[in-house]
């Protein structure tokens, strides 16, 4: 039989809530901003509806933000603005290269500007390729692990800690980055 699910700090379950529930509660109707302290039952979890979060001097939405879902890594190095960034970069370097070298000779300015611009484009694409081959696979793997951990974690309103019922690890809401990504 599994041991009862309790907070590792206070060994009680009356003030704990799934992290996912804190996040959805804090970002929708604001269940935790009131002043009552009714105890609610959500599934198999007993949770204190309100009150505890204000004890720690933060509003529920601040808490929800701190406990928010881990952010998925970008597929491209610079996200959805990737191609735009490359084009703007190439254009700026073309203009800049031309401006510098056209003082020597206008034709040379065009050639030099173009070459520098193409050079930048190639460099950008190489960096992008490296990111996709080396960085992204590691990042997405770590993210998926973090997401599973996030999904099963609980928050204790009394102790202001997040804990993992599987590994037994605990973390302050402010230190969640190393809780979710212990290897990085």
- Mind giving me the DSSP string for 127-144? HHHHIIIIIHHHHHHHHH
Spatial contact of 145 and 133, defined as CB atoms under 8 Å apart: no
**Least distance in Å: CB of 173 to Zn ion?**
13
Q: Which residues bind Zn ion (CB under 5 A)?
A: 7, 9-10, 156, 158-159
**Least distance in Å: CB of 61 to Zn ion?**
22
> What is the distance between the alpha carbons of residues 179 and 159, in angstroms, rounded to a whole number?
17
Q: Which residues lie below 8 Å from residue 137, measured CB to CB, with a gap of 6+?
A: none
**Least distance in Å: CB of 155 to Zn ion?**
9
Q: State which residue, 86 or 161, has the beta carbon closest to Zn ion.
A: 161
Q: State which residue, 52 or 124, has the beta carbon closest to Zn ion.
A: 52
> What is the distance between the alpha carbons of residues 41 and 10, in angstroms, rounded to a whole number?
19
Q: State which residue, 13 or 76, has the beta carbon closest to Zn ion.
A: 13
């Amino acid at each position: 039989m599994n041991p009862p699910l309790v907070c590792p700090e206070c060994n009680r379950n009356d003030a704990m809530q799934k992290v996912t529930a804190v996040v959805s509660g804090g970002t929708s109707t604001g269940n935790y901003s009131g002043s009552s302290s009714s105890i609610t039952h959500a599934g198999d979890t007993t949770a204190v509806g309100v009150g505890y979060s204000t004890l720690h001097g933060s509003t529920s939405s601040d808490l929800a933000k701190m406990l928010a879902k881990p952010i998925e890594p970008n597929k491209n190095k610079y996200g959805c603005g990737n191609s735009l960034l490359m084009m703007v970069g190439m254009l700026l370097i073309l203009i800049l290269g031309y401006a510098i070298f056209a003082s020597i000779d206008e034709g040379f300015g065009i050639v030099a500007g173009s070459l520098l611009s193409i050079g930048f484009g190639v460099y950008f694409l190489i960096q992008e390729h490296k990111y996709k081959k080396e960085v992204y696979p590691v990042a997405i793997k770590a993210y998926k692990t973090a997401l599973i951990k996030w999904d099963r974690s609980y928050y204790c309103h009394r102790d202001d800690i997040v804990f993992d019922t599987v590994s037994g690890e605990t973390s302050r809401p402010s230190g969640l980055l190393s809780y979710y990504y212990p290897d990085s």
